Structure 1
Amino acid sequence: MAYELRDWDIVSGVGITALGVAAARAVETSRDDALVRDPYAAEFVRAAESPVPMPTGAGDVAHDEHCWSLMSVFLGLRSRFLDEYLLDSCAEPAGASGTRQIVLLAAGLDSRTFRLPWPEDAVVYEVDQPRVLEFKDDVLARSGAEPGCTRRAVPVDLRDDWAAALRGSGFDPGAPTSWLAEGLMPYLPADAAERLLTTVHELSAPGSTIAVEYLPGAGSALADSSVASRLTGLGIDLASLLSDADYDPSARLAERGWAVDEVTAEQLAERYGRSFDDDLAELAGNGRYLTARKR
């Protein structure tokens, strides 16, 4: 599977899914009732010169292109929920300071460091492939983007010793951390997912939090010919990229003593006043988002 590739860029391997996510965010951003506003998403798509045509706004999506319409809803819900998770984790509950150390695992083209209202003393670490971060930094620099807090890029493959690279960038395992694994777990084999969560657990001080997206049954849904045929409009072979591993991060974190909550994509749609079309609703509606706090 593509996860076995080394050193991919933004238009190859799993990297192209990050570009697809940016395109979906760009479509959502252009809507009057957008759930998320990402002023850099369209710039990433334009700069990538992808071999796969991708939209930079709702005007690029034809009425019968259900794939990109669905993806924009799905990514709007996901981005809004995880934005709120990160900002809530940095808030100051009950007189205690919230976390000021944030780690975005497989950060891709995530622009939260630039678009969210962070506390001034927050430090955001963005961990991803060197060439993905290089592309991202170049586009953001040409766009005149300025981070809302201290930003530290950590160019490392998550299959290598990323914990050492993170520490080398100034990460303090003795301080509470807010972790984000968005758009990552569905691509990992079970053993890789287990190693990732084990490392996060070992690096997390009490009071640390994590948010994880996962898609149980995604492999089976993509094996269905009708679902697969409707996904062809994306131009990305998701079936070859997603893992078919039956791994439950919610249960594994709970076993390690984390207090876990979970919400589905369908529940988020109800919360934020959106709905899925019948097309691909089974796949998108199967999304799970867990948030957890280390006791």
Structure 2
Amino acid sequence: MARTKHHSAGPALRVDAAATLVAAARAVATKRGLITDPFAEPLVRATRIGFFTRLIDGELDIFDLGDDAALARMIELFAVRSRFFDDFVATAVGHGIRQVVILASGLDARPYRLWWPPGTAVYELDQPSVIEFKTGVLRQLGATPTVNRRAVGVNLNQDWPAALRRVGFDGGEPGVWIAEGLLSGVLSPEAQDRLLDNVTALSAAGSRLAADHMPTGIQSWAEREQTLAERWRHHGLEIGLTGLTYAGRHHDVGEYLAARGWETATSNLADLFAATGLPRLRRDDLANIPVSQRYVTATRRSRHRGAAGDAGQSA
């Protein structure tokens, strides 16, 4: 799904469908007892996209959606990814950090479904339409946040750091950053670098970050987009897959952060499957899986004057 530098965002459905697919996978994973996300299913149903409601109702098997068995493992893959980020943020707040930023939060409902220590603030950043939709649906369900939730409707290609500060984020205190599904080609190489530079500039010593990303060289979705689009269209989802990710060489997230004052560690899918206790994929199954294959955790070291990224910049 190669995307050019000057490509526009396109119809809202394209963004919503991508977020809804992940939520639908979490809903099915919840039914299978792999994770616990009680809000995934009602959020998917509220989109009124029949393709996804049929998926969570079991009328459509995810094995029918892809051109190989790898795509059909999405339920387990997204369950592992969700558990990875949930565990990471739980550990971070358990060590006393009291401000959490979820970049491109999509239809996930961590401020509602997780336990948070008193005094914690969770900042959710995403497109205004996504924030408005999710907030409205959860309000209709009578759901109440379990934390001080501060939702920020903003495009991450705009000046999101200023928007974050306006609602109370304090760059002088440590923070936790979650970038789930965001650093896998969704942003252009230049925009990804700017985002990481801004996160660095906003992060006091002791801040923590977790992200998944697709290393350059892994088989891209561009090689299978036509087959996927045809299969999904056959099942009633009219969505163009081209243009959802950017072409070009993206920096390795762990290496980029390490050069900017972060202490980083990287895991792969096999590591995560083993750590979470879910059934581990065979080694052959890990090749060319069309989701992020590396998971980075990072802790911000003490700032040094003049270090790369410390100057900060507008997105």
Same structural fold, with TM-score higher than 0.5 when normalized by the shorter chain? yes
Equivalent in the alignment of 2:200? 201
Equivalent in the alignment of 2:271? 267
Equivalent in the alignment of 2:104? 106
Match of 2:261 among 257, 263, 278: 257
Matching of residues 11-160 of structure 1 within 5 Å: 12-31=13-32, 33-34=33-34, 36-50=35-49, 52-55=51-54, 57=56, 59-62=58-61, 64-65=63-64, 67=66, 69-92=72-95, 98-160=96-158
Report the Cα offset of residue 185 of structure 1.
1.1
Whether the 8 Å contact between 2:28 and 2:56 is mirrored in structure 1 is yes
Deviating more after overlay: 68-77 vs 162-171: 68-77
Report the Cα offset of residue 64 of structure 1.
4.2
Equivalent in the alignment of 1:95? none
Report the Cα offset of residue 71 of structure 1.
1.4
Unaligned runs of 5+ in 1: 93-97
In 2, the alpha carbon distance for the partners of 1:40 and 1:233 equals 28
Whether the 8 Å contact between 1:22 and 1:42 is mirrored in structure 2 is yes
Query: Are residues 72 and 13 of structure 1, via their aligned partners in 2, closer, same or farther at CA, if it must alter by over 3 Å?
Result: same
Report the Cα offset of residue 22 of structure 1.
0.4
In 2, the alpha carbon distance for the partners of 1:252 and 1:127 equals 22
Structure with more contact order per residue of length (Cα contacts < 8 Å, sep ≥ 6): 2
Unaligned runs of 5+ in 2: 302-315
Query: Which TM-score applies when normalising by structure 2?
Result: 0.82
Whether the 8 Å contact between 1:26 and 1:56 is mirrored in structure 2 is no
In 2, the alpha carbon distance for the partners of 1:280 and 1:65 equals 19
Deviating more after overlay: 244-253 vs 61-70: 61-70
In 1, the alpha carbon distance for the partners of 2:299 and 2:57 equals 37
Deviation string 1:18-68 (CA, Å, 9 cap, x unpaired) is 11110110010100x31x211111111111122644545363443843647
Q: What secondary structure sits across from 1:86 in the alignment?
A: helix
Matching of residues 150-189 of structure 1 within 5 Å: 150-186=148-184, 187-189=186-188
Q: What secondary structure sits across from 1:144 in the alignment?
A: coil
In 2, the alpha carbon distance for the partners of 1:117 and 1:210 equals 19
Q: What secondary structure sits across from 1:117 in the alignment?
A: coil
In 1, the alpha carbon distance for the partners of 2:25 and 2:127 equals 21
Equivalent in the alignment of 1:240? 243
In 2, the alpha carbon distance for the partners of 1:22 and 1:7 equals 21
- RMSD across aligned positions (CA): 2.6
Report the Cα offset of residue 212 of structure 1.
1.0
Equivalent in the alignment of 2:299? 293
Residue 38 of structure 1 aligns with an amino acid whose one-letter code is D
Whether the 8 Å contact between 1:259 and 1:292 is mirrored in structure 2 is yes
Deviation string 1:250-275 (CA, Å, 9 cap, x unpaired) is 11100011000111112212222323
Equivalent in the alignment of 2:214? 215
Q: What secondary structure sits across from 2:58 in the alignment?
A: helix
Whether the 8 Å contact between 1:61 and 1:69 is mirrored in structure 2 is no
- Number of residue pairs matched by the alignment: 285
Query: Are residues 285 and 42 of structure 1, via their aligned partners in 2, closer, same or farther at CA, if it must alter by over 3 Å?
Result: closer
Q: What secondary structure sits across from 2:220 in the alignment?
A: helix
In 1, the alpha carbon distance for the partners of 2:133 and 2:62 equals 32
Equivalent in the alignment of 2:308? none
Larger helix share, 1 or 2:
1
Deviation string 1:88-143 (CA, Å, 9 cap, x unpaired) is 00113xxxxx2100000111111011111111211000011111100001110111
Q: What secondary structure sits across from 2:243 in the alignment?
A: helix
